[in-house]
Amino acid sequence: MDGKDAMPAGAHSRVRLTYDDFLLFSDDGKRHEIIDGEHYVTPSPNRRHQQLLGRLHLSIAEHLRANPSQGEVYLAPFDVVLSNWDVVEPDLLLVVGDQLDILIEKNVTGTPAIVVEILSPGTRRRDLHLKRRLFERTGVREYWIVDPDARLIRTFRRGDDAFLAAAEFLAAERATLTTVLLPGWSLAIDQFFV
């Protein structure tokens, strides 16, 4: 099943699921998330998604191996508990050195510095709109959206109270992605999308 599960709702109110409800979901190989108390289910990703995710993880992990004080990087499935009503499993997340206290053995309890989602037909709208608003509201410093079809990475960076306009890094333009959150790291976009 892809998309939102059916939710019981009254005439004037709806049931909001919590982290306790999340812990009761079956381990069925799908990604379960709660956003603003609503349950979302995503099927397993496709091969292209996994190739790109693996490349990005490897690039950042190699950099962090040489610069361990800069943070830690994780792949899904790894729960990120943003609030009692918001529990997500981003494709990739980075917790930087000044926030390592949000890492506990079973999850991330707080807001990671960088969250990355790789678009797929079943998650495109949710990643572009619903999750973007969630990550903006909860204080994510950077939100990266990888679009395999357009061969681009769109980044949103935190301004004073909200995300700044997106920067786009296109493979066709031989762009290089960098971030102030990982000094010394860069990603050649044309090599990433080979």
Average pLDDT in the 12-41 region? 89
Express each pLDDT in 130-146 by its tens digit. Answer: 999 999 999 999 999 99
Express each pLDDT in 94-139 by its tens digit. Answer: 999 999 999 999 999 999 999 999 999 889 999 999 999 999 999 9
Express each pLDDT in 148-171 by its tens digit. Answer: 999 999 999 998 888 988 899 999
Indicate the CATH number for domain 45-192.
3.90.1570.10
Range 118-126 contact pairs with CB under 8 angstroms and sequence separation of 24 or more: 118/45, 118/49, 118/52, 118/53, 118/91, 118/146, 118/148, 119/145, 119/146, 119/147, 119/148, 119/149, 120/45, 120/46, 120/49, 122/2, 122/3, 122/42, 122/43, 123/42, 126/35, 126/40
The three-state secondary structure class of 104 is coil
Which amino acid, residue 40? Answer: Y
Residue with tokens 């995503």: 42
Distance of CA 83 to the CA centre of its chain: 15
Ordered by start, the domain boundaries in the chain are 45-192
The three-state secondary structure class of 101 is helix
